Amino acid sequence: MQTPLKDAWIYLANGMFFKAKSFGAETTSVGELVFNTSLTGYQEITTDPSYAGQFICFTMPEIGIVGTNLQDMESRGIFAKGILCRHYNEKYSNFRAVESLSAFLKNFGAMGICEIDTRFLTKTLRQEGAMMMVASTEISDKDELKTILEKSAKIEEIDYIKEVSTKASYKHTFGNFDFSTMDYTTPNTRQKIIAIDFGIKRSILNQLVSAGFNVEVIPHNFDAQSLIARFKARDFDGIFLSNGPGDPQILTQEIAGIKALIEARIPLFAICLGHQLLSLAQGYPTYKLKFGHHGGNHPVKNLLTNQVEITAQNHNYSVPESIAEIAEITHRNLFDNTIEGVRYKNTLICSFQHHPEAGPGPLESSALFQEFSKLLDAAKH
C-alpha cells in the first residue's frame, strides 16, 4: 500500500496558486516551469543536465510505472529542480528497476509533485510561455511564496554550466547499451574527437563512440589556444560542442573560445546549446522561444533529402533566420518552422538543434553522427 503523500504548494509567476501532493524531496525550490510531451523515458529526461534550473511538467499522465535503473542515467545525477505529473505510481514493474522514482528523486534532492492538473498547466504555458515558479512542502502561504519567487534570480541570469560540466578531462570508451548481453558495446574507433562538456548526455557520448569516434571529454572552461596547438599537432581530428542548460548569451568565455576554434578552422559538430553557441560566436544572437521544444515527438524536415524525421527536443532558445547569411539551413522544425540544423559555408562546421542520440526518443536522426565522421574524412583530403 502506498504511503500517504504530503501536501505541496506551488506559486507561478503569473499569480496562479495550487495545492498538490509531494513524492520527492521535501524542500522549497525555485525554477522555470516547462512541459515535456514524451510518452516514455522520464528517468533519461530527469537526468538530462539541459534541464538544470527547471521544473519539468510531464504531459504523460502516469509517471513512475517502470521505476528507475542504472542504465538510463544521462548524467551523474538530477540537475532539474523537480518534476510535475498528474498521477504518480509508487509500485513499479520492470526487470531493470532498482528503486522507485520517489526514492530516486529524494536521493538527488529533487522535488516530485503530483495530483495536479498538468493539462491545465501545459495549456497555460502554451498561452503565456515558460515561466518561473516556486514549489514547497514547507510553506503554504501564497504571499510568502510570492515573495520568495520575486526575490529569486531568473533562470536567464544563472550560469548552470559550471554546475553540470565535468571538473576534469576523461575518456569515454563504451558505445550503446546492448540488451541482448545487458552490457555496453565497445566498438572499434578510428577518429579522435574532443567533446566539450556544457552538460553532455551519456547517450550522446555512447552514440559518438558507436559511430567510430575515440572520445576525450573536457570541461566547459577549455583553453582554446591549447586545443588549437593540439589540433595542429594532429592530436585529434575534430571537436564536438555538447548540449547544456540555460541562456547561451551569458556564456561569454565559452563563446570567445569557440570563436577562436572557428578561426583556427577546426572541424566542429554541435548539438543543442553547442548549436546556439556556434551562432553567437559568429555574431548572430539567439532568441528565446515562447515555451521551448521539449519532447520526443517533434517533426523535423531534412531540407537536403526532403524527408521528415521525428526527433527528440529539449531547448528554450533558437538561432536567428539571419544565420542564412553565413550558413545553409539544412533542417527545420515543422511545428513552428524554426531552424533545426545548419551547415556553415566554406567551413567544416555543422550543427543541429534537435537531439539525434534519442535518449529518450526516436532514432531517425542518429545518422547525423555518421555525417560528422564523413566531415572529418573530408578534412583529411
Q: Is 357 a catalytic residue?
A: yes
Same domain, 17 and 133: yes
141 and 168, same domain (yes or no): no
Cα-to-chain-centroid distance, residue 65: 23
93 and 186 fall within a common domain = no
Domain boundary among 157, 179, 195: 157
From the number of C-beta atoms within 10 Å of its C-beta (0-12, 13-18, 19+), residue 381 rates as: exposed
Asked, for residue 219, whether it belongs to a domain, the answer is: yes
- Shared domain check, 144 and 189: no
pLDDT at 230 over 60: yes
Domain CATH number, residue 220: 3.40.50.880
Helices 273-281 + 252-263 axis angle, to 10: 70
What is the pLDDT at residue 151? 98
Final residue of a structural domain among 129, 157, 185: 157
Selecting among 254, 272, 275, 309, the annotated active-site residue is 272
Whether residues 139 and 165 fall in one domain: no
Residue 323 lies in a domain: yes
> Could you say which of 293, 294, 331, 355 is catalytic?
355
Q: Would 67 be classed as within a structural domain?
A: yes
pLDDT at 350: 96
> Is residue 138 in a domain?
yes
Torsions phi, psi for 45 (to 5 deg): -65, -45
Comparing CA positions, the residue from 138, 225, 217 lying closest to residue 174 is: 217
Residue holding cell 518534476?
A: 83
Dig out the grid coordinates for 133 from the structure: 515558479
Last residue of a domain, one of 91, 122, 157: 157
Question: Are 243 and 201 within 8 A, CB to CB?
Answer: yes
Is 168 found in the same domain as 47? no
Taking the alpha carbons at both ends of the chain, their separation in whole angstroms is: 66
Question: 112-132, pLDDT tens digit by residue?
Answer: 999 999 999 999 999 999 999
182 and 106 in a common domain = no
- Distance between CA atoms of residues 220 and 213, nearest Å: 20
Does residue 1 carry a pLDDT above 70?
A: no
pLDDT of residue 374: 87
Q: Is 331 a catalytic residue?
A: no
Asked if residue 255 and residue 303 are part of one domain, the reply reads yes
Residues 286 and 307 in one domain: yes
pTM, whole model, 2 decimals? 0.96
Number of domains in the chain: 2
Residues 143 and 176 in one domain: no
pLDDT value of residue 362: 86
- Select from 282, 272, 286 the least CA-distant residue to 318: 286
Strands 183-184 and 191-196: unpaired
Domain residue limits at 24: 6-157
Alpha helices (H) in 79-189, listed in sequence order: 101-107, 118-128, 142-151, 161-164
**Would 89 be classed as within a structural domain?**
yes
pLDDT at residue 381, as a whole number: 62
Residue 74 sits in a domain whose CATH number is: 3.50.30.20
Between CA 277 and CA 249 the distance in angstroms is 8
Contact 342, 354 (CB under 8 A): no
Q: Which of 32, 44, 340, 357 is flagged as catalytic?
A: 357
CA 287/CA 270 separation, integer angstroms = 18
* DSSP code, position 5: P
Local structure of 363: helix, strand or coil: coil
- Does residue 174 belong to any structural domain of this protein? yes
Look at residue 345 and tell me if it is in a domain.
yes
The answer to whether residues 289 and 330 belong to one domain is: yes
- pLDDT at 3 > cutoff 90: no
Average pLDDT over residues 73-97: 97
**Averaged pLDDT score across all residues of the chain:** 96
In 153-231, the DSSP E strands lie at 170-172, 177-178, 183-184, 191-196, 213-218
Report, as an integer, the average pLDDT of 62-81.
97
1 is a domain residue? no
Q: For 231-283, how does the pLDDT look when each residue is reduced to its tens digit (9 = 90+)?
A: 999 999 999 999 999 999 999 999 999 999 999 999 999 999 999 999 999 99
251 lies in the same domain as 370:
yes
